[in-house]
Structure 1
């Protein structure tokens, strides 16, 4: 049975990364919900994807707020409304208190720019140390929640493994060889690969969940390639797979 993971709480039909989206995704039958977690100025983990609340730089203007999240207080960030929906940017603590579905947490910026992909040995300890305070804050918030951690950044994966030898990890990748390298290095249980990365077929000895799927045809292609799970923007993408 292919697992359905609701990307940002099925962002195609819900205001992404909000409590309302996570609840709606769970009600729609998602097995797990994927969310993004970033740090405010004081290190508080909030559930948000972009670097800025507004459309500065590469950010998309997701909220009615403005400024870089890593420069703002949690009070300012959580006052922002997501796409005018009335749903506010939640702290990770609030989302955990108000929902129960298993989570896939993508660890994003710990307040600064970070490197993606595997690092040379000389850089790994410094990268882990940059991530460790934020990862510790996230883990302290989660308690015994059913969580799997993902990231494009080796420093984030290393910090989780340093904190918890048994934590479930899933490197994010656009190339399977990159995912395999990080999965082997940190004993990850899964790899989260782009659809483009698995077009030639999945050849790994771990669970492979494929992102970000928006149509039933993409879901069909991912399953045909050997995906174990679908990280999807919409519910119901599996209904035509048997046909």
Structure 2
């Protein structure tokens, strides 16, 4: 059975990486999600895709230049699906408190060695406080992050996010003892999916928004699909 993950919540239906987006995902009956993490100035885990605030808030500066308290006051509705009321940037702690997902893909965007280690430590502490250790996987396209996760959180699952095929993504995932390979859909050939699974990797494919592509990836045997439209995905795959 192919599982469904909401991409940044339900990015196609509500402002991405906000509480309303994750609530929309759950309302569609999808209990798995993918999200992005940066650290605030005071080293809190903030749910936002870009290092810059410009695209989703219209504000100047970087996430790392503001405290969590400041960031949580910012409206993240710019350049996203329309929404009638303000949608604050959330912290991961806030989402853990308010959303009952059975599994979370936490994509860490920090790339420097120091910041990656700090982000991993913050995930270790927060996941322990909420007893989420078995409900999360730390994912990243950064080898620095995966290396930090190996060292600082060996008890937590890891996943490589692969967008390009110029390096062997399966080989890299295994090098960092990952349990999951998160493949760009353009890389998700039937052969690569089968090879990854044969190597012991769970294969999650992003970002899958077209019903025909959803059906094709199911026939290829993908373990899960990450989509901007969780409701569409459940309707499409439920009819197979």
TM range (shorter): 0.7 to 0.9
More helix as a share of residues:
2
Contact 1:64 1:80 in 2 (8 A): no
In the alignment, structure 1 residue 106 sits paired with structure 2 residue 107: yes
Where does structure 2 lack aligned partners over 5 or more consecutive residues? Answer: 78-82
Structure having greater relative contact order (Cα 8 Å, sep ≥ 6): 2
Correspondences of 1:123-202 after superposition (within 5 Å):
128-143=113-128, 144-145=131-132, 146-175=135-164, 178-199=168-189, 201=191, 202=193
Cα deviations by residue, 1:118-169 (Å, 9 ceiling, x for unpaired): xxxxxxxxx6555212210122122221111110001111212212323111
Correspondences of 1:1-243 after superposition (within 5 Å):
1-54=1-54, 61-83=55-77, 85-101=85-101, 102-109=103-110, 114=111, 128-143=113-128, 144-145=131-132, 146-175=135-164, 178-199=168-189, 201=191, 202=193, 203-205=195-197, 206-235=201-230, 236-241=232-237
> What is the RMSD of the two structures over their aligned residues, measured on CA atoms?
2.0
Q: What's the TM-score once normalised by structure 1's chain length?
A: 0.83
Q: Distance in 2 between matches of 1:7 and 1:192?
A: 12
Q: Distance in 2 between matches of 1:78 and 1:26?
A: 22
Where does structure 1 lack aligned partners over 5 or more consecutive residues? Answer: 55-60, 115-126
Cα deviation, residue 200, structure 1: 5.1
Q: What's the TM-score once normalised by structure 2's chain length?
A: 0.84
> Number of paired residues?
221
Contact 1:216 1:238 in 2 (8 A): no
* SS at 1:213 equivalent: coil
* SS at 1:148 equivalent: strand
Cα deviation, residue 90, structure 1: 0.8
Cα deviations by residue, 1:193-234 (Å, 9 ceiling, x for unpaired): 011111353221221110011111221232233311000010
Contact 2:13 2:24 in 1 (8 A): no
* SS at 1:75 equivalent: helix
Q: Distance in 1 between matches of 2:62 and 2:96?
A: 24
The aligned counterpart of 1:119 is none
Q: Distance in 1 between matches of 2:22 and 2:211?
A: 21
